[in-house]
Structure 1
């Protein structure tokens, strides 16, 4: 029992931790061996640029870029795998591919890299899922998310040079769509149906008292 409880507590953090380790590991390899893997990012509307749909989320331009993505990525992915564990992998995999493809379709002609598309994907999904499902725990999570990372919404617009706002916008829109598609999967608000009590059975549908049928008295009596 204790092993199961421990597994339930730790499992939501395994995938986020692994994701963070992978993107940091790739960046360290780039620095140590002088590689530049930016060419494996999304390059819009080219056949070669399609490979970036798979690789873009694991590549970062510098330490600041990587660090700025790591903390919200860990927090949001942990929330996703804790509250939506039954569909978390679907959201991450399908959402990641759709975010990359949408970026490929709409972005400017440049290499687009970074895990921020995943950050905006999960941010959008977690926030809108709580609102759509109207589950009190998920609504509370939505408000926590918007409180912590609400300022991110501005970066879906082209307000900063050198930043892939198209990747942010793609992740945000895809997250919203997936929140609607999977609104009935995972943790949902329970609908309760109340059963009739003995008191309710004393009245008919018009509220009139029902006269109970008593058994007829028997002439036979038991004597001691």
Structure 2
């Protein structure tokens, strides 16, 4: 759709600290800088979405909301000024961190197994949280990852304590 209108929807990406644009944290993950960017995000997003949603769609939706809002808010607050941050990378890094965090906090065989599979498949992309290419939003990667850990902690961090009576 964005291609059909000549990229005009890109103005709904996250523009750090620009008044009146904070709500773009909800639109930015759906926008991409061209078809190649969209395709590059599609497979990891689909795989990590499936891995995150298979156990509980409700927790997946809650985690996605936490990642989009918290990660986007941090990009809006701390991202490079004079730039526009868009794309599903924030969600991809957030879902990877969410799966790793669920494995860490739940410590069940299934959660650990899923975390290991996610890390084997996509752990190499973690280098993307470091600044390298000025056209890539490493801030979205970093803050998406952080928000994914927060989502895992909030949604899975309280393990029942054993009854010692």
Name the residue aligned to 1:93: 65
Name the residue aligned to 1:145: 118
Aligned equivalents of 2:35 and 2:100: distance in 1?
28
Q: Return closer, same or farther for 1:85/1:33 CA change in 2, 3 Å cut-off.
A: closer
Counting only pairs closer than 5 Å after superposition, residues 1-224 of structure 1 correspond to structure 2 as: 29-109=1-81, 110-183=83-156
Q: Which segments of structure 1 move beyond 6 Å, counting only runs of 4 or more? A: 188-193
Superposed CA RMSD: 2.1
TM-score normalized with structure 2 length: 0.90
Residue 127 of structure 1 and its aligned partner are, at CA, apart by 1.1
Aligned length: 163
Of structures 1 and 2, the one scoring higher in RCO (CA 8 A, sep 6+) is 2
Q: Deviations over 1:86-135 (max 9, x none)?
A: 41111111221111111101100101010100111111001111122110
> Which structure has the greater CA radius of gyration?
1
Residue 64 of structure 1 and its aligned partner are, at CA, apart by 1.3
Aligned equivalents of 1:86 and 1:60: distance in 2?
26
Residue 189 of structure 1 and its aligned partner are, at CA, apart by 8.6
Residue 48 of structure 1 and its aligned partner are, at CA, apart by 2.9
**Could you list the runs of 5+ residues in structure 1 that have no partner in the other structure?**
1-28, 194-224
Q: Deviations over 1:8-57 (max 9, x none)?
A: xxxxxxxxxxxxxxxxxxxxx22223342111110001113313211100
Aligned equivalents of 1:86 and 1:62: distance in 2?
31
Check conservation: 2:129, 2:141, Cα contact below 8 A.
Answer: yes
Check conservation: 1:134, 1:189, Cα contact below 8 A.
Answer: no
